[in-house]
Amino acid sequence: MTPRGLLWIAFALSAAVELLLPAAETSLPWWHRTPAFHAAYGLVGCMLIVVVAKALGRYWLQRPEGDDD
Amino acid sequence: MTDLAHPAWVYLAGALLAAVVPRRGRVPLLLAVPGAALALGLWLPEGRETAARFLGQEVVLLRADRLSLVFGTVFVIMGLLGTVFALHVRERGPHVAAFAYVGSALGVVFAGDLLTLFVFWELMSVSSAFLILQRRTAKALAAGFRYLMVHAFGGACLLAGLLLRAAAGEGLRFEAMALTGATALILLGFAVNAAIPPLSAWLTDAYPEGTVTGSVFLSAFTTKAAVYALARGFPGVELLVWAGAVMALYGVVFAVLENDIRRLLAYHIVSQVGYMVTGVGLGTALAISGTAAHAFSHILYKGLLFMATGAGAPGRGGVDARHGLRGDVPPHRAQAPVLHLFRGGSRGPPAGAPGEHAPGHGSGGRPLRRHRGRAGVPLPDPPVPGGLRAVHRPPRRHHPPAPARHRGRVHAAGAASRRRADRDPRHRLGVPPGGSAPAGVLPGVGAGERPGDGRPRAWDRPAAGGSGAQARPVAAPSPWATGW
């Protein structure tokens, strides 16, 4: 089993638990009790963080390659 | 006699002993000190207070309630794991500094008054600076000096705040404080150590420059002691909610953009401490419990990450997140998943990339194929059996001199001793991560009452008086509500 394989298995198990065992806490709003809501929320949130951070880096925070001033 | 029992004393006495004990007796000492402190920290009964008189003031040297016990427990666990990780280091200095650092951090979390807190706070700053300075490169010396200056500023703010508070007759007891001029200075001192932007640059500047073993300690104690201090002194201060939210986003943006893996982890500390600071700002029992639980896990997994990435970067320029290992040592099996995450699952470094083994450099010019697995991660040699024996008796291997790109070093002797200390670091990845990972699961699987289970708690009551602007929760005698 390669490390990458282990990571995929852990990822699949986490997603399956989210899908099969949604939050049962009745005090939460309905969307928190939707199956796989937190998995999808986490995935989209992380993708947004990466995309926005890369965009901030490209257009604002980072200097272009070769600029060694 | 038992009233004098304090895990900080064990570490501070250990620091003194580590300075004089000859090399032959050092390993038993290095295991005995954190072991004794761990036993003492786990044994401390809830509710114990040890007071003494100092300079006409009553000082509370030890206050073991549920909040301080959570942080104290994870500190003694991490102290043991970090020390085992550093067992192979031959110089005295890193051990003395690490013991003094862990001891003073324990002194901070168990301090019951601001004077005791300040003394340990300053000792923590000075001792931790040596964990950076002892790397002895030009960059490390500069970063360590900046680190000292920033923390001297934070300590001065804390001292000024507590003196003003004492002069106003408000006492020095360390408990929840309403925001006034004096306590704002104390809050500023805490904010420096918690790395709240714009006071966070010291962290990402200094932690990647620390020694491989020193950064493991650094990642665990300073910021988390500050989180504890904020949770103790300023729960429910709304400013912290905003500051924490800024931290969480600021840290993660720069972590995504960073390529040096230890600097990436340093930015990630800022981000994660941001969640904790937000929890403190929310100030409810659930939020404080979540903060403490997150701090507990974060200390363990961040220490684990610094162990894995530091061991893969044996003083040879760090690990570049784009290309994997920049050094020349094949990673241990335990590192492979971590490196996979940071390499984005790439199939090994591209030709000519820093991670590539150049002829005459790296593993003695051996063919690359010999060390490459299917997924591009170099395969480790067969593991060395024997638990702790393998930790402090690494197999000897040949390593060529450091390449020309590391010309920034200033002290040749220091660099040589550092290379000796960092020689073949794979052996470090056995016991410490093996203890850190399961310990990190503890808060999640712990039985007992859970936060927010509807039972009334004393600290849910609004403060009588308070700052007037908002209802703040009373200082929680036991905000840690999970009870594991």
- At B385 the pLDDT is 35
Query: Domain limits at A36?
Result: 3-61
The residues with which B372 forms a beta bridge, in sequence order, are: B378
- At B416 the pLDDT is 55
Residues of chain A with a CB closer than 8 angstroms to some CB in chain B? 2-4, 6-7, 49-50, 52-54, 56-57, 61-62
| Chain A contact present for B197, CB below 8 A | no
A53 contacts B336? CB cut-off 8 A = no
Choose the closest CB to A3 out of B252, B256, B336: B336
For chain B, which ranges sit under pLDDT 70? 1-2, 311-431, 433, 443-484
- At B311 the pLDDT is 63
Asked if B174 and B231 touch (Cβ cutoff 8 Å), the reply is no
B257 contacts A54? CB cut-off 8 A = yes
- Considering the domain boundaries, does residue A66 fall inside one? no
B253 contacts A56? CB cut-off 8 A = yes
B252 contacts A53? CB cut-off 8 A = yes
Tell me if the pTM is above 0.80.
no
Minimum Cα–Cα distance from B250: chain A residue: A53
Closest alpha carbon to B429 in B281, B308, B286 = B308
- Considering the domain boundaries, does residue A44 fall inside one? yes
- Considering the domain boundaries, does residue A17 fall inside one? yes
Q: CA Rg, chain B, in Å?
A: 22
Locate tokens 């192979």: which residue?
B88
- At A36 the pLDDT is 86
CA-to-CA distance for B391 and B132, rounded, in angstroms?
23
Asked whether residue A59 carries a pLDDT value surpassing 50, the answer given is: yes
Looking at the structure of chain A, the number of domains it has is: 1
Q: B residues 336-365 near A, CB within 8 Å? A: 336-337, 340-341, 345
- At B473 the pLDDT is 42
Confidence band of A58 (pLDDT split at 50, 70, 90): very high
Asked if B85 and B218 touch (Cβ cutoff 8 Å), the reply is no
- At B135 the pLDDT is 92
Phi and psi torsions of B275, nearest 5°: -60, -40
- Considering the domain boundaries, does residue A67 fall inside one? no
- At B319 the pLDDT is 52
Minimum Cα–Cα distance from B249: chain A residue: A49
Choose the closest CB to B375 out of A4, A50, A62: A4
Taking each helix axis from N to C terminus, what angle separates B114-133 and B181-194, rounded to the nearest 10 degrees? 30
Locate tokens 């796989």: which residue?
A36
Furthest CA-CA distance within chain A? 58
CA-to-CA distance for B111 and B174, rounded, in angstroms?
8
CA-to-CA distance for B308 and B433, rounded, in angstroms?
8
- DSSP letters of B109-127? HH--BHHHHHHHHHHHHHH
Minimum Cα–Cα distance from A46: chain B residue: B252
Closest alpha carbon to B356 in B396, B325, B395 = B325
Show residues of chain A in contact with B337, CB under 8 Å. 3, 6-7
